C-alpha cells in the first residue's frame, strides 16, 4: 500500500476503528435490504476499512468504487473490483450510477465533501439513502433545525429532499493519521416528495443564497439590491423583518412561489 504521507496530501484520513466501521456497514446493509438496492457506490475507499466489510455483505458484482488516487485505484482494480478512476466531481453520471436503486456509503474527503454531497443529492429518485461521513461542523449543518446557528442554505436545500439524522460521532483517534477536527456519520434518506416543489432549481438556489448572504440582517436588507426578490418578499406575505434562519418551511414555500411569479414575463 502507498505511504500515508502521499495520501494525506489528497486530504485522506483512513478509518481504523472497527466498531465504527461495523456500525456504518451494518446500517448500510439494513437500509439496502429495505430499499431493494441493486448497486452500491463507495467514493474514496482508501485502504478499504469500510470497503472490505461492505464486500463481505454485498459482494463485488454490483459494487463500484470512485477513487482519484492512481495507486489506490490500481490496488482495487487488482482485487477485481470495478473502479472509476478520477475526481468524482468530474465523472459522468453513467460511470457511477450503475444500477438503481443505488446505495451510497462513503467516508468523504473533507475538502470536497459538500460538493460531492450536492451532486449525489440531486438524484433522490434513484438513490434511496446515503450513509456518509463528514467533518462534524458540516454534518451539523446538514441536520440542523430552523432558527439555530447551524441552520443555513445548505440545511434547507438538503432537507427539502432528504431526511437527515446522526448515526454516530467519530473522534480523531478513529483515523490514521488523525485529523485535527471531529467527524460525524449521517444517514440521508430520500423523501418521496420534496417539502417544497422547486421546479426552477436555479431560482431556488439563488433565493437561498441571497437570503443567507448576510445572516445577521433582515430579509428586506438582504434583498435590497435585488429588485425581483424585494418585490417577491412584499407579495409573499412573509415578514421582511425576519432573518432567513427564522423562516418556517411554509414561509419558504410562499417566498419561493412569489419569487417564481415575479420572474415570469
Domain boundaries, the chain: 4-190, 201-263
**Average pLDDT rounded to a whole number, residues 7-16:** 62
The more confident residue out of 198 and 263 is 198
Q: What is the pTM of this model?
A: 0.91
Q: Please write the tens of the pLDDT for every residue from 15-68.
A: 999 999 999 999 999 999 999 999 999 999 988 999 999 999 988 889 999 999
**Average pLDDT rounded to a whole number, residues 204-229:** 95
Is the distance from CB of 262 to CB of 232 less than 8 angstroms?
Answer: yes
CATH 3.40.50.300 fits 201-263, yes or no: no
Helix (H) or strand (E) holding 65: strand 63-67
Confidence label for 10 from pLDDT (cuts 50, 70 and 90)? very low
Confidence label for 110 from pLDDT (cuts 50, 70 and 90)? confident
Q: Please write the tens of the pLDDT for every residue from 135-160.
A: 999 999 999 998 899 999 999 999 99
How far is 34 from 30, CA to CA, in rounded Å?
Answer: 6
Query: What cell numbers appear for 247 in the block?
Result: 423562516
Q: Please write the tens of the pLDDT for every residue from 162-195.
A: 999 999 999 999 998 899 999 999 999 999 999 9
Examine domains 4-190 and 201-263 and report if their fold is the same. no
- DSSP string across 176-218: ESPPSS-EEEEEEEE-SS-SS--S-HHHHHHHHHHHTTTTTS-
CATH 3.40.50.150 fits 4-190, yes or no: yes
Query: What cell numbers appear for 263 in the block?
Result: 420572474
How far is 13 from 4, CA to CA, in rounded Å?
Answer: 9
Amino acid at each position: 500500500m502507498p505511504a500515508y504521507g502521499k495520501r494525506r496530501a489528497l486530504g485522506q484520513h483512513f478509518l481504523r476503528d472497527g466498531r465504527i466501521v461495523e456500525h456504518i456497514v451494518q446500517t448500510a446493509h439494513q437500509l439496502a435490504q429495505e430499499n431493494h438496492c441493486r448497486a452500491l457506490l463507495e467514493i474514496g475507499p482508501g485502504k478499504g476499512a469500510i470497503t472490505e466489510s461492505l464486500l463481505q455483505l454485498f459482494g463485488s458484482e454490483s459494487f463500484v468504487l470512485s477513487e482519484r488516487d492512481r495507486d489506490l485505484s490500481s490496488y482495487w482494480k487488482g482485487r477485481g473490483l470495478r473502479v472509476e478512476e478520477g475526481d468524482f466531481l468530474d465523472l459522468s453520471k453513467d460511470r457511477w450510477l450503475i444500477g438503481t436503486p443505488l446505495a451510497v456509503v462513503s467516508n468523504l474527503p473533507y475538502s470536497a465533501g459538500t460538493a460531492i454531497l450536492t451532486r449525489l443529492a440531486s438524484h433522490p429518485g434513484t438513490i434511496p439513502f446515503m450513509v456518509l461521513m463528514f467533518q462534524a461542523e458540516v454534518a451539523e449543518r446538514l441536520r440542523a433545525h430552523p432558527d439555530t446557528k447551524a441552520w443555513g442554505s445548505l440545511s434547507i436545500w438538503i432537507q427539502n429532499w432528504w431526511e437527515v439524522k446522526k448515526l454516530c460521532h467519530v473522534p480523531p483517534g478513529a483515523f490514521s493519521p488523525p485529523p485535527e477536527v471531529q467527524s460525524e456519520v449521517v444517514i440521508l434518506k430520500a423523501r418521496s416528495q420534496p417539502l417544497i416543489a422547486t421546479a426552477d432549481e436555479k431560482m431556488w438556489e439563488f433565493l437561498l443564497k441571497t437570503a443567507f448572504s448576510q445572516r445577521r440582517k433582515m430579509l428586506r436588507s438582504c434583498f435590497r439590491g435585488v429588485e425581483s426578490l424585494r418585490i417577491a418578499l412584499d407579495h409573499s406575505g412573509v415578514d421582511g423583518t425576519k432573518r432567513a434562519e427564522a423562516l418556517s418551511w411554509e414561509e419558504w414555500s410562499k417566498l419561493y412561489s412569489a419569487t417564481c411569479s415575479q420572474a415570469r414575463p
